[in-house]
Structure 1
Amino acid sequence: MPQQAHSDGPVIELHGATKRFRAATGGVHTAVRDLDLTVAAGEFVAVVGPTGCGKSTTLSLVSGLEPPSDGRALVHGKPVDGIPDGVGYMFQSDAVLPWRTVLDNVATGPRYRGLSKRDARERARDWVTRVGLEGFEGYYPHQLSGGMRKRVSLAQTLVNEPSVLLMDEPFSALDVQTRGLMQDELLRLWSGSKAAVVFVTHDLEEALVLADRVVVMTAGPATIKGSFPVPLERPRDAEEIRLTPEFLEIYREVWESLREEVQITRERGTGRAA
């Protein structure tokens, strides 16, 4: 099957976006600089880069959690001022509430958006089933495995049917087998949703398995070094796609670009480079 079709107009836009923070020493730390990035509806973009280069800051600019110091961030053509409508954010750590059941955790978002308790729980029940947790609606988070909690988090995010999905290393704490299952689950649930996805990860294999395009960021202060289309057909099986010659070819191409930035960061850390 062909790649998922994308709409013509960008849903997410960063134009010359720079973010500076006040450092603990009293100086100014530039986290990211001169970012130019667009993401279309239905496009899945993965962002990779060396540790600490500002990948999560990039998500913060899109989500409205942080305003740019310079440049512009737009969602659906409007400048980001606060958290835009239609944005879902899945963090590295679980956002489940320990005192609520699986069903009530998933129903929290729809309730917050004004649905009645009955309608919110009905929508939540549908999404609990979609993520493979039917029969666990009455369980509490401490009764679930790590992978099951991630499924709850995914349902919490997708139940609101976001048009923009921001994901900050959501599967990094999982074991390899569970991570592969969650990658397949994400692709299945996202397919056909028309949501624009920005997925931050340290794992280049994960980026290539999931994305239509992989963006490589430089060592900090980060800017975008390169953007690589991923010419792998959909639907994809997260485990089997890794074994294909096409996957290995694009992996080598992107890793060649990323490796230089990882080496720069490593040398800075050991004091061999400025």
Structure 2
Amino acid sequence: MSNPLIELRGATKRFPGTDGGIHTAVKNIDFTVAAGEFVAVVGPTGCGKSTTLSLVSGLEPTSAGRTLVRGKDVDGIPDGIGYMFQQDAVLPWRSVIDNVALGPRFRGVSKAQAKVKAAEWVRIVGLAGFEDYYPHQLSGGMRKRVALAQTLVNEPEIILMDEPFSALDVQTRQLMQDELLRVWAGTDAAVIFVTHDLEEAIALADRVVVMTASPATVCGDFRVTLERPRNVEEVRLTEEFRDLYREIWETLRDQVEAARTKGATRVA
């Protein structure tokens, strides 16, 4: 891939351990993401998937190796980053439209212009009519729509998503997956989407990157050839989807078992 938007070259992250030693969260990670590409990252629980997002976002510095955005080493938070966390960042004392308008306001847009922009994204994510509602008046799925609008209102070039739909019920989760694909399709943003759900990863992504048990490194990088646009419920019923699932699960299963064995050894 020439001139990738995001590139990790032997990226390693170490933290102080609880026992006074050093904990290596991720080690020698190599992968790239192009503009407009949707990459899902899967791996065992606690392997370091979220740490990888922290390196790309600049929230954590790389301990060794390199993390690059637009060909430059990440040093602080790069411009054009949108981050959607597992727990939403919706402020309870602000209305829907005021929550969505916060990003543009922080970037120096006038209050009036920010509200116009926010209103458009509230409409795009399907919340027209709820502009003046407060978070406690919304369902979990509606709050996620607000969080999605908060992320996209700034028109990020890179969208980082850390298990954003994991707390939702199955039906609402599928609706949000379709909603994400719909609104992302109108952008040229690169997405890195962390999930524990392999079905979710395949249904959404152009590529699925599999990480090893901790310390995480990349052990598989699979191209998803399912046609777009996609309906996540329908695509799961296809033979091509099932074949991809079996192929990727062969790699992922080994890492889940390795993580389970390592955890049992520590307990013992």
TM-score with structure 1 length normalisation? 0.96
What percent identity do the matched residue pairs reach?
Answer: 72
Q: For 1:11 and 1:201, how far apart are their aligned partners in 2?
A: 21
Q: For 1:214 and 1:111, how far apart are their aligned partners in 2?
A: 35
Q: Which residue among 169, 172, 176 is the counterpart of 1:178?
A: 172
Q: What is the correspondence of 1:49-60 to structure 2 with a 5 Å cutoff?
A: 49-60=43-54
Does the alignment pair 1:137 with 2:131?
yes
Cα distance, 1:129–1:192 mapped onto 2, change above 3 Å: closer
TM-score with structure 2 length normalisation? 0.98
Residue 49 (structure 1) shift: 0.1
Q: What is the correspondence of 1:214-225 to structure 2 with a 5 Å cutoff?
A: 214-225=208-219
| Unaligned 5+ runs, structure 1 | 1-6
Residue 78 (structure 1) shift: 1.3
Q: 2:265 aligns to what SS in structure 1?
A: coil
Query: What is the number of equivalent residue pairs in this alignment?
Result: 268
Aligned residue in 1 for 2:250? 256
Q: Could you tell me which amino acid in structure 1 is paired with residue 155 of structure 2?
A: E
Residue 85 (structure 1) shift: 0.1
Runs of 4+, deviation exceeding 6 Å: none
Q: For 1:200 and 1:103, how far apart are their aligned partners in 2?
A: 27
Does the alignment pair 1:234 with 2:228?
yes
Q: What is the correspondence of 1:75-94 to structure 2 with a 5 Å cutoff?
A: 75-94=69-88
Q: Deviations over 1:236-262 (max 9, x none)?
A: 001010000000000000000000000
Q: Which residue among 248, 260, 264 is the counterpart of 1:270?
A: 264
Does the alignment pair 1:208 with 2:196?
no
Query: Are the counterparts in 2 of residues 42 and 192 from structure 1 also a CA contact under 8 Å?
Result: no
Query: Are the counterparts in 2 of residues 264 and 273 from structure 1 also a CA contact under 8 Å?
Result: no
Aligned residue in 2 for 1:189? 183
Residue 37 (structure 1) shift: 1.1
Q: For 1:273 and 1:38, how far apart are their aligned partners in 2?
A: 36
Residue 8 (structure 1) shift: 4.8
Q: Which residue among 20, 33, 57 is the counterpart of 2:14?
A: 20
Does the alignment pair 1:33 with 2:24?
no
Q: Which residue among 76, 89, 93 is the counterpart of 1:95?
A: 89
Does the alignment pair 1:167 with 2:161?
yes
Q: Deviations over 1:7-50 (max 9, x none)?
A: 95210011110000001210000000001111000000000000
Cα distance, 1:8–1:187 mapped onto 2, change above 3 Å: farther
Aligned residue in 1 for 2:238? 244
Aligned residue in 2 for 1:4? none
Query: Are the counterparts in 2 of residues 15 and 35 from structure 1 also a CA contact under 8 Å?
Result: yes
Q: 1:270 aligns to what SS in structure 2?
A: helix
Aligned residue in 2 for 1:3? none
Query: What is the root-mean-square deviation in Å for CA atoms of aligned residues?
Result: 1.3
Residue 267 (structure 1) shift: 1.2
Q: Could you tell me which amino acid in structure 1 is paired with residue 70 of structure 2?
A: H
Q: For 1:218 and 1:128, how far apart are their aligned partners in 2?
A: 38
Q: Deviations over 1:26-75 (max 9, x none)?
A: 00000000011110000000000000000000000000000010011111
Residue 273 (structure 1) shift: 10
Q: Could you tell me which amino acid in structure 1 is paired with residue 113 of structure 2?
A: D
Q: For 1:70 and 1:112, how far apart are their aligned partners in 2?
A: 33
| Unaligned 5+ runs, structure 2 | none
Aligned residue in 1 for 2:145? 151
Q: 1:15 aligns to what SS in structure 2?
A: strand
Residue 269 (structure 1) shift: 1.8
Residue 272 (structure 1) shift: 8.4
